[in-house]
Amino acid sequence: MTDLGCELLGAVDDEDREYALSDYEGARARWCPGCGDHSVLTAVQKLLTAEQLKPETTVFVSGIGCSSRFPHYLTTYGFHGIHGRALPVATGIKLHRPDLDVFVVMGDGDCTSIGAGHWVHALRYNPDLTVMLLDNSIYGLTKNQTSPTTPQGLVSNTQPRGSLLPPLNPLTVALGVTNASFIAQTAEFVPAHLYATLRAAHKHRGLAFVRILQRCPIYTPGIYGEAVKKPSLIELLVHDDGVNVPGLEKIYQQRRQHDPRDLAAARELAQSPEPIRLGVFYRDPSRICYETLRRVPARTASERLTLLETELDRYAV
């Protein structure tokens, strides 16, 4: 259509269109009042607006759980999948349409239990995805069952005498996977840090894994209640290559310099649940994405690696 035709119809060329936050708002969120998922949705809508991501080239993929209702609340494309399978679906989308911005939303049961195999291998394949683990330490949608990240001793419907095992630590698991390229932790109750972390994750090329500590006031009200009231329980990891939020140091005075390139230090810091550490634990932008590797027309692995070393720009999507 000619420019004149567009003008006559009142159509706006997509390239010139400016998106407002309301352009990304889907159905009214039906999470419980006070649920941390609301805070994450707000940060994501803010990110989409700041980056001006086109709804028609953005996809949110989720599994099953309270947080997995996410795609319904956005006007982007969405795929509300089956339990634990968000990552293979998202990887498939990215391999076939590397031009799309693909986000993944999972809960702790979804990602670290039934989806654990997919989680580990997606980290290793390192497709260019922004992956959010909304960790409220319980199965909320199915009403109060112990998940892998439930604190030891916490009473649930499935373990009425208290959870028997110490919780799985998603950070140390992710930091142990070969070829993982971005591992961060943030909290929905520190909204400025949440937003800055999601922004850094989205800018990262490769799989950016962000564990978001999330309140569930219905089933695990005690887990982050203290941390919300006492900033001294939180330590911010800061570095020029990490997440730095101006002004946050006035509230969160515990700060630690941590170079996200230092994997050994990241593993050490991730071991301890206290203080609650927020920031980028690890980032290596030089890791190769699987969709890039697949494009290299070579027959053997060594030929492929040689071509990648010499002509990476040619194959990067």
Q: Which of 160, 76, 168 is nearest to 120 (CA)?
A: 168
Question: What does the alpha-carbon distance between residue 90 and residue 236 come to, in Å, rounded to a whole number?
Answer: 30
* Contact call for residue 133 and ligand SF4 (CB under 6 A): no
Q: Which of 58, 91, 130, 136 binds ligand SF4 (CB under 6 A)?
A: 136
CB 214 within 8 A of CB 40: yes
- In the complex with ligand SF4, the residue whose CB is nearer, 76 or 136, is 136
Task: State in angstroms the smallest separation of the CB of 29 from ligand SF4.
Answer: 9
CB 68 within 8 A of CB 40: no
CB 82 within 8 A of CB 90: no
**Between helices 116-125 and 86-96, what is the axis angle to 10°?**
30
CB 168 within 8 A of CB 149: yes
* Greatest pairwise CA separation for the chain in angstroms: 72
* Contact call for residue 140 and ligand SF4 (CB under 6 A): yes
* Contact call for residue 156 and ligand SF4 (CB under 6 A): no
* Contact call for residue 148 and ligand SF4 (CB under 6 A): no
* Contact call for residue 149 and ligand SF4 (CB under 6 A): no
CB 84 within 8 A of CB 62: no
Q: Which residues contact 162 (CB under 8 A, 6 or more apart)?
A: 152, 153, 154, 155
- In the complex with ligand SF4, the residue whose CB is nearer, 114 or 218, is 218
* Contact call for residue 228 and ligand SF4 (CB under 6 A): no
Kindly write out the interface string for residues 18-57 of this chain, putting x where it contacts ligand SF4 by CB under 6 A and - elsewhere: -------------xx--x-x--------------------
- φ/ψ of residue 145, rounded to 5: -120, 145
Q: Which of 151, 217, 231, 275 binds ligand SF4 (CB under 6 A)?
A: 217
Task: State in angstroms the smallest separation of the CB of 143 from ligand SF4.
Answer: 8
Task: State in angstroms the smallest separation of the CB of 78 from ligand SF4.
Answer: 18
Structure tokens at 271: 């071991």
Q: Looking only at residues 65 through 104 of this chain, which bind ligand SF4 when binding is defined by CB under 6 A?
A: 66
Structure tokens at 41: 């949705």
* Contact call for residue 188 and ligand SF4 (CB under 6 A): no
Q: Which of 218, 293, 296, 307 binds ligand SF4 (CB under 6 A)?
A: 218
Task: State in angstroms the smallest separation of the CB of 58 from ligand SF4.
Answer: 24
Contacting positions for ligand SF4 (CB under 6 A): 31-32, 35, 37, 66, 136, 140, 216-219
